[in-house]
Amino acid sequence: MHHVILAQSSSLDGALSQGLGIIAKFLYIIAVIVIAHGGWQVRSGNADMGKMSIVGGLLLGLSVLIAQALFSAGGMPTISVGQ
């Protein structure tokens, strides 16, 4: 009975990892768009909004790495962005 539960748990971890990987890839695209928008804001003379957009985009891009480090520290399965 324990083998069946472990097999289901393993497939659930794999599915969760795949789902988080898709979210991470989408998040990187959003981060690039936000950083580009920040650069456009700086160029058009709105430096304060541009800086906030660039910092926000960097935080979006780094959030995946921060979450992966926290998952690894807690012993949870990590996300596989590279696959």
Claim: this prediction has a pTM higher than 0.85: no
Exposed, middle or buried: residue 53 (CB in 10 Å: 0-12, 13-18, 19+)? buried
26 occurs within a structural domain? yes
pLDDT range class, residue 33, cuts 50, 70, 90 = very high
80 occurs within a structural domain? no
Q: How many domains does the chain have?
A: 1
38 occurs within a structural domain? yes
Given a cut of 50, is residue 49 above it in pLDDT? yes
Cβ–Cβ < 8 Å for 38, 51: yes
In which domain, by residue range, is 51 found?
2-74
17 occurs within a structural domain? yes
81 occurs within a structural domain? no
60 occurs within a structural domain? yes
Helix axes 2-43, 47-74, angle to 10 degrees: 160
79 occurs within a structural domain? no
